[in-house]
């Protein structure tokens, strides 16, 4: 996986015009990546100290950093670099997971991969800005922000999401209006549809995007969709559903009993096929379903939601579609929440820069997050170490301590050391 990042970083054109080229752009990128991978802001400082004492360091052996730049040098070297240079590693790692059959469990409804899309703000300021900031006026004062559209593969019941190539919400060339999440999703779909087999992926979104332009684009790209569908924003659709309830078997339903580990639940599904998404000409027809969950012992409703989808609906497929639709929120819970609160510090200003620094560093951070997920899915030794150490913070505390005080020839040596010291091998 690291080789793919190294190749991309080494392919970045030289942007410096003077003779001060002591450090390579690739070293700056790999150094920053090491900080994010280990969740260690002081990692490079520790490695410079190790180099002075031992003549060797883990930044070189683990991440391939030939000469360690200072933090200001890293920011200066990376600021002019467009984050588009880092798209390829996301898809190379996706391809490696696919080839190794590690994505089999992620194939759900219709044997498709579930790709959840959602945006989040990761930087906000009233003073610091760059040309790529989104600007809004509040109380007659300009507010600057950076927002990213995240794309992750999700699986119902799994706490692991697989990060894909992000799309940044930034002012677009040739457009007078501010960029927005809806336009970012369209760009992401057009750019990345070719990475998936025909009808091999299902896009999940919230109600904000469950409208005809995006649905039509997805179908044009041979991509399925499951999108939250609220009555207030889909009046025509719900009026049609209400009319269909008066026609025998037009709106079908079924109730299933489920045990959630604490108490019994009744899941009542309703669905209808080929309902209009809006009024007017050239209306797209979609399938609609909803679920209502009540506690079996008290009769209290605990959950209700509805979706539109391109998947066919039946007694067999409706529970799968609903489970997939509910998994959309993993982009928030298992993605943004982890990135913001579990050591990656998504909302920390690692460096804003004057051009692309903020977006480039975030791309490296998302790659680090992807690396750990890919290792968990593909490496038995990594899985065993994580399980033995328990909380995430214990694992990263150990990584930081080991790389500060000990030298390792490479990742295999480091994992072997941890595996043996935890006595995880055969007794």
Residue 282 lies in a domain: yes
Burial of 212 (C-beta count, 10 Å sphere; 0-12/13-18/19+) = middle
Residue 426 lies in a domain: no
| The last residue of a domain, from among 292, 321, 340 | 340
Instruction: Please tell me whether residues 152 and 226 are part of one structural domain.
Output: yes
Q: Which two tokens stand for residue 133?
A: 């900031």
Over residues 33-78, the pLDDT tens digits come to: 999 999 999 999 999 999 999 999 999 999 999 999 999 999 999 9
Q: What angle do CA 29, 30, 31 make, to 5 degrees?
A: 90
Instruction: Please tell me whether residues 128 and 203 are part of one structural domain.
Output: yes
Pairwise CA distance, residues 146 & 130, whole Å: 10
- Number of domains composing the chain: 2
Instruction: Please tell me whether residues 291 and 191 are part of one structural domain.
Output: yes
Q: Which two tokens stand for residue 220?
A: 């044009």
Range of the domain at 401: 2-78+379-421
- Can you tell me which residue has the tokens 């995007």? 209
Residue 19: per-residue pLDDT:
67
Instruction: Please tell me whether residues 400 and 310 are part of one structural domain.
Output: no
Q: How far is CA 396 from CA 29, 349, 391, 400, 409, in A?
A: 21, 21, 9, 6, 19
Residue 111 lies in a domain: yes
Instruction: Please tell me whether residues 70 and 88 are part of one structural domain.
Output: no
Residue 373 lies in a domain: no
Residue 36 lies in a domain: yes
Instruction: Please tell me whether residues 276 and 151 are part of one structural domain.
Output: yes
Report whether 78 contacts 25 (CB < 8 A): yes
Could you tell me how many residues make up the chain?
427
Half-sphere exposure of 55 (CA within 13 A, CB side): 0
- Can you tell me which residue has the tokens 């025909």? 198
Closest CA to 103 of 197, 231, 5: 197
Instruction: Please tell me whether residues 217 and 93 are part of one structural domain.
Output: yes
Residue 48 lies in a domain: yes
Pairwise CA distance, residues 199 & 188, whole Å: 17
CATH number of the domain that residue 194 is part of: 3.90.350.10
Report whether 356 contacts 81 (CB < 8 A): yes
Over residues 210-239, the pLDDT tens digits come to: 999 999 999 999 999 999 999 999 999 999
| The last residue of a domain, from among 340, 358, 389 | 340
Instruction: Please tell me whether residues 68 and 193 are part of one structural domain.
Output: no
- Can you tell me which residue has the tokens 């040596």? 413
Residue 352 lies in a domain: no
Residue 171: per-residue pLDDT:
81
Task: Name the E strands within 261-414.
Answer: 264-276, 285-295, 301-309
Residue 281: per-residue pLDDT:
85
Instruction: Please tell me whether residues 329 and 223 are part of one structural domain.
Output: yes
Residue 21: per-residue pLDDT:
80
pTM score: 0.95
Residue spans of the chain under pLDDT 50: 174, 427
Residue 338: per-residue pLDDT:
96
Residue 357 lies in a domain: no
Handedness of CA 310, 312, 317, 319 (dihedral sign): positive
DSSP labels for 157-223?
A: T-S--EE---EEE-PPTT--SPP-HHHHHHHHHHHHGGGS-TT-EEEEE-GGG-SHHHHHHHHHTT-
Over residues 274-293, the pLDDT tens digits come to: 999 999 889 999 999 999 99
| The last residue of a domain, from among 286, 319, 340 | 340
Instruction: Please tell me whether residues 231 and 259 are part of one structural domain.
Output: yes
Instruction: Please tell me whether residues 305 and 252 are part of one structural domain.
Output: yes
Instruction: Please tell me whether residues 69 and 107 are part of one structural domain.
Output: no
């Amino acid at each position: 996986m690291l080789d793919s990042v190294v190749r991309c970083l080494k392919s970045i054109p030289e942007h410096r015009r003077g003779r001060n080229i002591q450090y390579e752009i690739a070293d700056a990128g790999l150094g920053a990546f090491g900080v994010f991978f280990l969740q260690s802001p002081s990692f490079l400082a520790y490695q410079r100290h190790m180099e002075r004492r031992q003549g060797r360091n883990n930044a070189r052996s683990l991440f391939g950093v030939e000469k360690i730049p200072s933090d200001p040098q890293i920011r200066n070297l990376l600021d002019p670099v467009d984050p588009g240079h880092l798209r390829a590693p996301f898809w190379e790692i996706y391809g490696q997971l696919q080839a190794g059959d590690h994505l089999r469990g992620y194939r759900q409804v219709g044997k498709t991969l579930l790709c959840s899309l959602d945006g989040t703000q990761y930087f906000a300021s009233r003073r610091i800005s760059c040309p790529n900031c989104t600007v809004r006026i509040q109380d007659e004062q300009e507010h600057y922000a950076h927002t990213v559209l995240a794309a992750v593969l999700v699986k119902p019941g799994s706490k692991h999401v697989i990060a894909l190539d992000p799309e940044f919400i930034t002012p677009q060339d040739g457009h007078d209006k501010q960029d927005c999440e809806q336009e970012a999703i369209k760009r992401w779909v057009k750019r990345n549809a070719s990475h998936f087999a025909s009808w091999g992926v299902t896009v999940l979104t919230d109600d904000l995007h469950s409208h005809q332009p995006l649905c039509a684009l997805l179908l044009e790209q041979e991509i399925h969709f499951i999108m939250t569908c609220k009555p207030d924003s889909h009046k025509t659709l719900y009026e049609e559903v209400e009319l269909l309830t008066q026609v025998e078997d037009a709106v079908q339903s079924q109730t299933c009993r489920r045990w959630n580990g604490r108490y019994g639940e009744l899941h009542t599904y309703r669905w209808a096929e080929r309902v209009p998404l809006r009024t007017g000409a050239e209306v797209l027809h979609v399938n609609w379903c909803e679920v209502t969950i009540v506690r079996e012992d008290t009769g209290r409703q605990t959950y209700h939601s509805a979706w539109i989808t391109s998947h066919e609906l039946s007694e067999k497929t409706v529970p799968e579609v609903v489970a997939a639709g509910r998994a959309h929120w993993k982009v928030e819970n298992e993605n943004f929440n982890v990135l913001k609160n579990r050591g990656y510090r998504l909302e920390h200003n690692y460096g804003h820069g004057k051009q692309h620094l903020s977006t480039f560093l975030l791309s490296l951070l998302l790659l680090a997050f992807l690396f750990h997920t890919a290792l968990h899915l593909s490496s038995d030794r990594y899985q065993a170490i994580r399980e033995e150490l328990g909380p995430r913070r214990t694992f990263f505390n150990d990584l930081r301590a080991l790389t500060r005080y000990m030298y390792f020839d490479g990742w295999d040596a480091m994992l072997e050391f941890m595996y043996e010291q935890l006595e995880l091998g055969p007794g």
